Structures are given as structure tokens and as C-alpha cells.
Structure 1
Amino acid sequence: MIVGDLLELDDLHIEVAWAGPHLLDREVTGVTSTDLQDPARYLQRGELVLSGLVWWRPDEGQAAMRFANALRIAEVAALLAGEGTHGTVPPELVEACRRHGIPLLSVPAGISFRSVTDRVYLRLWGDLQATDEGKAALPAAARRALSRLIRAEAALDEVLERAVADLGLPDCSLTTGAGRVLASSAPTTPWTEPRTSPRSTTAPVPVGLPGDSPFDGWLLQPHSEPGPTATTMLHGLAELLTPLATRARATATAQRHTGTRLIELLDSGADTEAERGLALSGLPARRRLTPVAARIDGLPESWTAAALAEALHELPDPFVAAPDGRGGAVALSPAPEEQIAQTLHRLLPRLEAVLPSRRRLRLGIGATVEPAADDLRAALVQARYALYTEPPGAVGRCSRITSLETLLRGVPAEITADFRRRVLAPLIEHDRTNTVSLLDTLDAFLRHSASWSRTAEALHLHVNTVHYRIKRIEELTGRNLLTLEDRLDLWAALRCVG
């Protein structure tokens, strides 16, 4: 497929805004959608780039030039600019594309990017079929029948059922790398064992290229051990399904780009643009949203975003999940907090099972709020804080921060350790060189609401001994345990992890 083929798709009404000689002959390898101002790191050579131009503002003179330069660096095939946001394609963008040699095509406001993406991948798939005809391991009649189903956008379950019936294959499922079932020829559980699991008894067949993370990519998983002929047929079926996997990955990438831009706008305080981005994100309008934060220490944030999306696909509602530029990822979902928490808790072991080197996934959930930029920004802060209120491998929830102890868990360990050391240093030094622990005495005294008699009973001491030790604690720390303020400081220091 070449760029000029887009002009032959009459129902899409795509027109040339600018293209130099021979630029419409550029070969197309794929399609991606983005509204990032600098998307270069997300683009591949030969891709068509769809953009709604949400990033463009008339008062930023160099914005169009920076965007076109990013496309030039990535060596994309062409830019398709949607006219739904600003009307006609801005002259500044036309000039920028001319300067950088990027073919620029316009997509009318009434044409969805999804329809453009689908038509491009169907065309690419047709080219692939023509190139590979006779090479695949499927009988011609069965291949044609399955191809007709795929072109008609039949449900994947139906495609697999037909393949099993026509080719004599064992029942099989189409899954993600982590084991989430996308389709199956027979009833099965929503998740299968991931390919890395020792409990996985049959080897899956990759569908298309492997993903960037263990959560990306599709696998064809037979339910029972196939024979040699069936194995060959499964590889042929995987070939046939590859364009669908490629299209799904492109859609996910486009959604991630949209989410990245939205999170950037929310974090930066650009409320007007953020709310416009929210309207274009695909999230249901006027529904309350729940933010979720995630982090996998030591792994790319793109992996974290993919893991978070994999879990949220379990819920029926649409969502946005994207890297947050801070080493983690965040998501916005219209599902209620409790439903999200239960889903994440249930799926955490499965998600962590495919991570390398025993890495752990942290998750935090903020408050469910109205879809207003300032409310969402506050809820995102809560979700990121909640990440650290529970240990890795658990789900932190801002709504569960109901005590000083849970509040302190979210404070970075470097801060709490320093606070503990500064407040309790004299007692720590005392206990290091003495058999009597003043730290234990202080903890018992505060736990028993500063009751002399109950502290003495708990420590099996005489009351006078407790009086002596508390006086010694006050002398060493310079605190007065008769005042609430000093008690709270010491209690907080004891609760901080050293």
C-alpha cells in the first residue's frame, strides 16, 4: 500500500492538503494515532500518523514546526489531519509539512479515525495475502472461508470455531501474553495460564510480532496437545490473524498516546485543554471517574501502562491508561472504586506472574470524582500517594487512609526514616547501649493512652518505674508527654519505618 491509495477510498473523502512530487508513492507499513506535540519516540518508519490536532494552538507559532519535525525524524509515510477540532487544516501546519517534506492529507470532521485505521489495515492485510498466497499452511478453501469471515468483521469466537471445524484443530483460545482470553472456540475461563507459567501444558503459537512487554501481543493457545499436522495448521491460522493483532496493537498505541497527552494536561494545570482532551478520549461523557496509579520499580513505564490496561480490560467500561512521565502509569475509569479494587486484587498475581526477576506491581486508587480537570488532578495525586500505603503486590486505596499510621505509609521512606531518626535519636542511642528499652516503654505508654497503671501492667513493672522511665524519655527528647502535640510527634516517629 502507498499513501496515494488513501485517495481512492471514496467513502472516507480524504483529500490532499499538501504533497510534493512522488511523496504520495511512499510505502505504508501501518497506522497510528496521536495528539502528542512530540510523538517521535512512539512512531515507526513508514507509518501513517492520524492526529486530531488537539495539541495545536494558534498562539504557539512553532508548535506545527516541532510536530512536523518529529514526523520527519521518525520517517513516517504521511500525516492525516482531522478537521473535527479546528475545522480546515491550519495553514501553519501545511507550511510546516512542506518545509519538512511530510505529505499532508485532510480527514473530514464526520469521518472517525477508527474507520480510517480499519480500512488501512484491511488494505495492508489484502496486500499481505496477495504476497503470501500459497505459502501459508492452510488449505485454500478453508483459508478463503476464514478470510471472508475476517473481512466481514465476524466475532473472533466465530472465526476460531470455524477454523476448528474446517481444519480439524483442537479447541483453542486467542489470548494476550498475560493469559487474558480474547476469544475461544469453546467455553473457557476468562484467563488462561500465561505462557511463562509452569502449569501451562501446551505451547502457544504467537500471532504476529511479539509485543514490547509481556502484556502485549496475541497468542493462539490450543486446549490440548496438537499433533504435527494440527501444529502446522495453527501456525497458518496465526498468520491469518496477524493483521487483526497488528490493528489491535495500533489501536491500543493510539489510545495510549491520547491518554499520555490527557495526563500531561491534567498534571500541568491546563484545565481548559484537559477537559477538551477528556471529551476526545473516548471516556463516557458526564460520568464520574476513578483514577488508578501503577508502578513497577526497575521496569519501563510502558510496561506498567500495559499491565494496568490488561487488568482494566476485565471491566466492561472503557478506560484510558498511559505512562505518566514519572516512571509509572495512570488510568481513568468510570467503574466505581470498589469494583476496580476487587478486580485489581484478583488479577495482581496473574499480572506479576509474567514480570521478570520477581518484580512487583504497586497499585493505588484515588477518589471517584466528577469529570472536571481540577477534581481529577486532585484524585490523581491521591492515587499516586495510595501506591505506597500498601506493600508491593497489594492495592492501596485513598479511601482507606483513615489513620495517622496509614497516612504515614504513603510518605517516601527517605522522609519517614529521617523524621524517625531526628525525633527518636536519643532513645535509639540509649537502647543501643542499655538493656532497658526506652523505645518499648514509650510505645507501650502511648498505646495505653498515657495511662501509668495500664502501662505498668503491660510491661510487668511497678508504676514508679514507669514514671522514672517516662521522665528519662522527656529529658532525652526534650518533649513533654503531658501535651498532645508532643505525644503525636513521638507516636508518628514510632510508626515510621526505620
Structure 2
Amino acid sequence: MRLRELLDATELGLLLLVGHDTDDTDDNDGIPPGTPLDRTISAVATNDLSDPGRFLTGGELVLTGLAWWQGDGDAESFVRVLHRAGVTALAAGEVEHGLVPHDLVRACRRHGLPLIAVRPETSFAAITEHVLRRLHRRDPGSLAGLAALVERHRRLLTDRAAPDSVLELLRHTLGFDVRVLSATGRQVAGARPPLRAKTAAALAARYLAARRAGESAPHHVTVGGRPYSLVPVPAPAPVRVPVPGPGPLPHPHPHPHPAELGDWLLVVEADTSLWATPDRELLDRTVELVADARAAREQANTARNDLADRSLALLHSDVPAEEIPLRLRSTAQAVVSGVGYWPRLQFVVAAGEWHAARPVPAAALRVLLEEALLQEDGPVPVSSEDIAATVDGDRAVLLVLVPGPSEAHPDPALDHAALERRLSAALARWLGPADSVSIGVSSPVPEPGNARRALEQAHNALRIAHAAPGQVTVRGPEDLTSHILSLLPLIPAEARRAFATRLLGPLRDHDARHRTDLLTTLETFLDCDASWTACAARLHLHVNSLRQRIARIEHLTQRDLSRLETRLDFLAALKSG
């Protein structure tokens, strides 16, 4: 396509500022010969980097919003790079500064680079689509340069670079914004600013619905009046496990298994079904590169997930309770570099049912929860480095590091309601009427001696979540308490008082005879979610002194306070007595 053909498109309203046949040029070295308007456009690249050279191969129409220009003198280096790369022309938008700066006009005139003004009413997408429609009739042999660029970016991935460079290549080559989202709608990589949260969640939900329906990719959808194409970037092989059990799946849209919960999706703000075959092939190659980047990232998570495997095995073992703190502490320190103490964490346990009570594969839930728990901002930020994940039968088990108490946040913990909202939005179209995903969350574990109790607490919260109405439910330790207490009014008052007297009587008698505070100690211990350090701090005791008091309580009542059932019994007795 020649430059004059683009300027002849009256619907675009483009204005040529530099490039008329009468324009003088101070520096013609490297400028394509011939009349400026006869120069050919072989590609479109949108660029607002101050140094865009590494993305240019020559022959491009470069579109820029001028975000890089801050004042006189900035244009010279930018134009020099375009000139040396053999760019055909530069089109500058007037939105950022109200007009094209004269500094840029002078620089383009010095280097003989045609400059076009793009009025605010004309979008870069309209220009790109106009050019691409003409370029679709190009000689397929001209793709050789693009293929070489793709191979060059493949080499970038050998150092486990993020996929942003690959997506930037596609954006600059085809002129469309490209992003990678997780199945929960979180943006993993790509164009900035990110999509609005509602738009991203809607795209992820549409993707999961299309995958569950067995539709072939890419999936073409419209959200907010804009067309999008969604291309799967499958999860690495370990996540893609089959659902156990023989026989066909009793679902109107049979699908082998819900591995899509762990997928990423490449989102292109365009309908790729209208693209020429060479462009679609370039998109396929880009997906392969993003998959390579994802595999490298998953490999980097191996050490943390090994930590989860070893920790879970230790908690399930017959190791004496007094040895658990030392072994867990050394296990954590072996992986969490630079941490000389047991990191404060919470357990998250998830299970799901689909297709008439078949379990959702725990490996797929693990990846889904790893994405859903990520929270870059807020009072309790969680990064990928804060999550260690594994599977336990048909359940996913995650260990999530959370920050310690501060003056602003005395007891920071995961936001159960926000997690439920994110998962509900993502799975709204994927879950069928009889399907469900349930999650249980423990209290924060300040020391390894509480780890077994916290894991048990998360499993019990999972049971409460599973019994609750709704397709996606998240429950925590406070829900366990409210569940038990909600049942107390159903028990006759006389029976409640008799139960409290039988369970708490030995403690009241001991306190009366020996002037001790065992009952107060028990109440505080339960109020602190059985945390030794929190309870000791509140009672102004040394932890060893608290352990002696708890041991006395257990001896007098013949109950084991390490068991959740015992703690709930005591809680009910205290509320009834």
C-alpha cells in the first residue's frame, strides 16, 4: 500500500504535515528513494516508547500518541531511530497535546520522514484496520520478515522473560491491543492500562463457558459493544488430569475434563476471523511463545509447591506434636529464602463437584485458586511468591503467606468475601445448575505448633461451605463459630445449662478453691482461635505458662483442646452457661 493511498482515504481525515514533494530534507541518508507519497507501507506499528527501534524492521507506518514527548528536543532522538529503521511514515495523534508539536515537525523535516497528523476523532484502530484490509492482498512472501522477528523474540524467552515482549511484538505488528488473562480475569501480561475489572471478568467467564460447551477456538465475543477474540493458552501438562470414573459425562455439552480452569487466555481486541491467513498464523505462533513463557514461570513455582507437598505430608504423619514446630520451621526455611522464623500463613482448602457429583480435579482447582488468591494491592497483598500449592486427594490445598500484625491492621487475613466474588464472577457461566466449588480458609497460623489445628479448621470450614447454598462458597473460622452458635437456640435451655455445668464445672470449682483463672484462660484461648502467641500476649503470660494452664484445663475436663470439636464444645458451653 502506498502512502498516498492512505491519505486519499477521506473518511480518516489525515493531514500530511511533512512529506510533500517540495519539502526540503537536511539528511537523506537511509531514506527510501522516490517521491515521499509513493513510499510503500508494509506494516502498522503503534508505539509510545521513547526508543522503539527494536520493534521496527522497515516499511512500517508508525502510530504514536506522543506520550513520550514532554518538551522541545525530545523529538530528535525518536525520529532519528525511525529514520534509521527505514520507517515509511509517522502518524501522530493530536489528543495528548492538542496538536502535533512543532518540535516533531522540525525533526521529521530534517530527516525527511513523512509526518501525518491524526485528528482526535480518528482512532488508531480505524487507521490500522484500513491499512490491514489493503495489506491482506500482499504477497505472502513478505511475511518472512515477521517470521524472523518472531524467532528473535522466541530467543528472548530463553532467559524466562515475561510474555509482555511477545505481546508487544504482536501489537506493534498488527496494531491491536493484546493481553493475557487468567481464568479468573486477572491480567497476567499485555497492553496497559489493563481492561476494566468487569470487562476482564466477563471475558474470562465467556471463555470458560465456550470451553465447557466444547466450542472450537478462537472464541469471538462482544463485550461492552467491542469485539474480542479469545485464544486458549493451556496450562502445563501436570494440571491437565482426567476426571476419574468410567462412563460418559451426563452433561448436554460433554467435555473431557475442566482443565480450562487452569488456562490462560490470549485476548485480542479484534475479530480475528476477519484476518488474513498469514496474520492468524502469526497469532498462533505468538500463543506458542506465551505458552513457553508460562511453562518457564510454572517451573519457577516448583520449589514453593514442593514446600506445600512436604508440609502437608508432615502434618498428616505420625510425627509427635512436640516435633512438628521444629520440622515445619526447618521445612519452611529451606525454601523461603531469608526467613529465619516460621512465616505467618493461612491454609486454603478447595473442592468441587460437577457432572452429577463427580469431583472437579484438584489439580485444576489448585491453579484456579493460585490465580484467584493473587491480590497485588489492599491491606493484605498476596503475590505469586506468597503461595505454595499442592493436592490432597480430590482437594486442593494452598499455603498462603500473609503479613504480620501492624498498627493499621492488627490481624491481617485473606478477604473471604472478595475471594468469593472473584470466583463467582469467573465461574458464573462455567458452572452448571448442579455444580459447585467450595473453599475453606483457616485462621492465620502465627507459629508451626498451630499448623495441624489450622489445617483441620480449613477442612471444617470447607464442610460448612459445601453445605451452604450457592454455586461458589467460601467460608472461614468465623463461619464455624456462627454455624455452631446458630444451632444453640434449637436446644432447650435446661439442656444447655446442664451441658455447660458438666463441661465447665471442674474449672469453676478449681478457680474457686485455688483462686486461679482457668476459665478466663480458656475463654481467651478460644477467642484467639487457639493461637498460643496471641493468647499469651493478651494474658501477659509467657507461652510456657500458658501451656501449663491449658494442660491443667485438659486434665480437669478430660478434653483435648487440640481438637476442633473440643474447642467448639467449650465455646457452646461458655455461651450457654
The structure that has the greater radius of gyration is 2
Structure 2 length as normaliser, TM-score? 0.43
